[in-house]
Structure 1
Amino acid sequence: MAKIPNFIHNTDIGQNFLIDYSIVDFILRRAKLTAADKVLEIGPGDGILTEGLLSTDCSGICTVELDTRLKHTIEMLAIKDS
């Protein structure tokens, strides 16, 4: 993962990471989020999709991440967005 050097994913909890921005763009286009939408993101990882969601009109994003090693990365996105 580019954002977290030397990070080794945990296969015991099924970790896989989205790394292709074109896939993020595809997901966001298909979602057609509006201000009436709130998003629950399970496993935000290093936040590549979360960053994309922050650029939409959705009214809120809630993330749930089991891996505490990723907590700081997601918190930094929240601070950046505030």
Structure 2
Amino acid sequence: MNDRLKPELRELAVKIATSYARSNTVTVEALPSVIVMAYQALEACIAPPPPPPAEPPKRGRRGGKVVAKAAVRGRGKSVGRQSAS
């Protein structure tokens, strides 16, 4: 993370914690943990996204084709209607 942003994040975390403490009952002992939680949440907001998974998604049992259950059901019903007419 950029070191330049850390002081800004600290200031924002203190502002968030102060605003929270004004609206909610917070003991003096709990205030540092509120500031830490706000700071960690802000860090999570600017963190880069996680890398994609290393392994490809698993395929279904139908020879590598992904088939939705609704499509399979729909196809079965339409075949039944066609053969009845």
TM-score (norm 2): 0.22
Structure number, greater radius of gyration: 2
Return the structure number with greater strand share: 1
TM normalised by structure 1 equals 0.22
